[in-house]
């Protein structure tokens, strides 16, 4: 093969790779408004479960964080959010990282709960304005 043929083959491979990269670009995280909405019953159930887990945090932080992860993942699944590790919301990934960090475990658990709360606030819209919000120090 001569040099011209190699250059043409190289360019063809490059074009194919670029096409595949652009085609894959459509697999970014979905927007919340594009997800399946929750029924009122599901929304109320998740909010009740979330309140229970937040209250449990004081006495059993590790267990509360595990349960928070489970609730958030159930919400994501019910709303038909892609469940691949790279497709999860950034707050879920941050929460998992914080929950497993070395050093001050309690602080990591607190930060994980705050990240999970951020996901819950985005994914489970509360229409109950009278719901008091508890602050985590």
Tell me: the pLDDT tens digits for 109-120? 999 999 999 999
Q: Is residue 17 part of a domain?
A: no
Domain count for the chain, please give it: 1
Question: What's the rounded Cα separation, in Å, for the pair 110 and 62?
Answer: 10
Q: Tens digit of pLDDT for each residue in 29-38?
A: 667 667 889 9
Cα separation of 98 and 13, whole Å? 41
With respect to residue 132, please indicate whether it lies within any of the assigned structural domains: no
Would you say residue 47 lies in a domain? yes
Domain assignment of residue 131, yes or no: no
| 80 within some domain | yes
pTM here is 0.70
Q: Comparing C-alpha atoms, which of 49, 91, 45, 85 is closest to residue 68?
A: 49
**109 within some domain:** yes
Domain that holds residue 62: 31-123
pLDDT tens digits along 99-110: 888 777 889 999
Helix (H, G, I), strand (E, B) or coil at 62: helix
Asked if residue 70 belongs to a domain, the reply is yes
Q: What is d(CA 112, CA 118) in angstroms, rounded to the nearest whole number?
A: 10
Task: Classify residue 35: in a domain, yes or no.
Answer: yes
């Amino acid at each position: 093969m001569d040099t011209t043929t190699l250059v043409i083959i190289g360019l063809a491979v490059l074009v194919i790779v670029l096409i595949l990269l652009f085609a894959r670009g459509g697999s970014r995280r979905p927007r919340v408004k594009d997800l399946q909405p929750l029924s009122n019953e599901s929304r109320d159930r998740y909010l009740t479960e979330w309140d229970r887990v937040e209250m449990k945090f004081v006495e059993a932080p590790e267990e509360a964080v595990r349960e928070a992860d489970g609730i958030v993942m159930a919400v994501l699944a019910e709303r038909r959010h892609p469940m691949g590790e790279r497709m999860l919301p950034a707050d879920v990934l941050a929460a998992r990282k914080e929950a497993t960090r070395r050093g001050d475990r309690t602080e990591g658990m607190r930060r994980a709960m705050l990240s999970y709360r951020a996901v819950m606030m985005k994914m489970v819209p509360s229409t109950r304005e009278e719901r008091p919000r508890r602050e985590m120090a």
